[in-house]
Structure 1
Amino acid sequence: MSAPFDQQVTFLYAEDPAPSWRFYEEVLGFDLVQDQGSCRIYAPAPGARAFLGVCRARGPRVADNPRLQGGAVVTFVVQDVEGWHARLKQAGVELATAPSLSETYRVTSFFFRDPAGYTLEIQRFERPDWPAPT
């Protein structure tokens, strides 16, 4: 059975979206798929079926803890986790953690925040049952 949906978009909101737009375009190197004026939608990978939208917020953030109800952590999956850590450090991004292995989830990952304060994670699955990208 194929996926029930054709594509997926996650939207993040920033009171001042310009620094976030620069971050996703210049630091992470995402391709801009659509500029809607107050919202930009990016493809984090070539041939993506999942996209990330960054839009102007209509009000301030209510809570900074991403693990509270209504919070979010956006995770990008890549094999070279350590290389991305070095790249972001060189770009001056404040990194919350170094890459580490979670035995519980069997992933190697690290966390950081985007200019609007969203928690981002770069991770590699260390398990054979994760589907490979197509």
Structure 2
Amino acid sequence: MSPPPEFAQQIIFLYAADAAACRRFYAEVLRLELVQDQGDVAIFAVAGQRGFLGICPARGARELTDPRREGGALVTLVSDAVEEWHAWLLAQGVQPEAPPTRSPRGITHVFFRDPAGYLLEIQRFDRADWPKPGA
């Protein structure tokens, strides 16, 4: 038996009590393209037509407050323009956790939260061993 083919696309679904506020945030602040509106679920393109982010109504309050614990989630968006994104977020009224920071792992990143409290990161790989888009 042959293994199945590689995955063609990927979607991360986030659940929010105020899904409308999150839809606006991802469309207007992060400027992601809405590729499918399913009524109560919105799916945005993140990286061309291979990466997607879905916003869904939550079934209840979040029980996990620290996304860096087991069961948590962190949404990372990769861009060479981390500093420009930081300035844009500030101009849009989003308060990042700190200015862009260079990590000992060879990345520069900035962390912030969406209206539902999800932790997001915009990250640049300052190392040559990260695959470039389309590679």
Report matched runs for 1:94-133 at 5 Å: 94-103=95-104, 105-133=105-133
Dislocated runs of 4+, deviation >2 Å: none
| Cα-to-partner distance string for 1:64-94 (whole Å, 9 max, x where unaligned) | 1011111101000000100000000011001
Q: TM-score, normalised by structure 2?
A: 0.93
Q: Percent same amino acid among aligned pairs?
A: 55
Equivalent residue pairs, number: 130
Describe the SS at the equivalent of 2:8.
Answer: coil
Aligned AA (2:11) = V
User: Does 2:21 correspond to 1:9?
Assistant: no
- 2:109 partner amino acid: S
Structure 2 residue aligned with 1:78: 79
The alpha-carbon deviation at position 10 of structure 1 amounts to 0.3
Name 2:62's counterpart in structure 1.
61
Shift of residue 48 of structure 1? 2.9
Q: Distance in 2 between matches of 1:111 and 1:16?
A: 21
Aligned-partner residue type, residue 32 of structure 2: F
Q: Which runs of 5+ in 2 are unaligned?
A: none
* Letter of the structure 1 residue corresponding to residue 34 of structure 2: L
Letter of the aligned partner of 2:43 in structure 1? I
1:28 aligned to which of 27, 30, 47: 30
**Counterpart residue identity of residue 16, structure 1:** D
Scaled by the length of structure 1, what TM-score is found?
0.94
Cα root mean square deviation, aligned: 1.0
